[in-house]
Chains A and B, each alone.
Chain A
């Protein structure tokens, strides 16, 4: 029996929540992610940057009616990492399946 290693970038409550939200939509604004995760703006911003640096997210900063707007999208690398993470989780949940 072998447990797969969990991706440290995703194995964090807020980063995992952000990626899980983005996996089900085409793109989302920072305000949407903040509302759904109940995180503070500062904390969320830091975690989004970590995901972006890992290449899991694409972050677009633009202006909408003179207000700054941050749009986040999951990348192909992010989707692959999420799928790997879920597969790894399954090895912990159903260890017998791995034998």
Chain B
């Protein structure tokens, strides 16, 4: 590309603008890794918690959820590293980042309130409801239907949870993360690998 402008007609200019905007817009940077990490972690924690309650092996089976702190530490490390590698930052990634940050803060506040008021039986239903919001909004911003559907499934399961005993809500949690994070995570991963391979071949 050169800097000569004498031959740049209005039609050429519009075509160039269109091409460049499409090049920036079609970049697909979400590899689905964090959806899969959290999806599988919550899945195993929920199933593990359910099994530990059923087997009655420990006094505090909920201790299994402490493993989430390890994932939080790893996520901070992963996001810092990814941010350093990225050559471009988009508005949509920024919005999605803030949506998930709001989710984390809301989850912290809800856990605090539930702990203070000793309403632990409610926590998993509230979590189901909470998972729906950032998942659905990420789907809207990314124009990615599996996340939108996943978010809606979380909300439906939150309503269903009101009719079940708290121990069975753990199983709903496992179903919710399969629908909201694990399946979309694998689809995102496949899409990312396909697009990046195509980009590498074209260069």
Q: Does B11 contact A (CB under 8 A)?
A: yes
A79: Cβ under 8 A from any B Cβ: no
Determine which of B1, B5, B14, B94 lies in contact with A26 in the assembled complex, contact meaning CB atoms within 8 Å.
Answer: B94
Asked whether any CB of chain B lies closer than 8 Å to the CB of A13, the reply is yes
Chain B, interface SS category: helix
Of residues 1 through 30 on chain A, the ones whose CB sits less than 8 Å from some CB of chain B are 6, 8, 11-17, 20-21, 23-29
Q: Contact at A13–B4, with CB atoms within 8 Å?
A: yes
Assess whether B23 is in contact with A36, with CB atoms less than 8 Å apart: yes
Once the chains are docked, how many angstroms separate the CA of A13 from the CA of B203?
21
Contact A32 B21 (CB under 8 A): no
| C-alpha gap A32/B4 in the complex (Å) | 22
User: Does A38 interact with chain B (Cβ within 8 Å)?
Assistant: yes
Per-residue A-contact encoding for B5-45, CB less than 8 Å = 1, 0 else: 10010111110110111011100000000000000000000
Question: Is residue B87 contacting chain A, with contact meaning CB distance below 8 A?
Answer: yes
A→B interface (CB under 8 Å): 6, 8, 11-17, 20-21, 23-29, 31-32, 35-39, 43, 46-47, 64-65, 85-86, 89, 92-93
Q: Which residues of B contact A (CB under 8 A)?
A: 1-5, 8, 10-14, 16-17, 19-21, 23-25, 84, 87-91, 93-94, 203
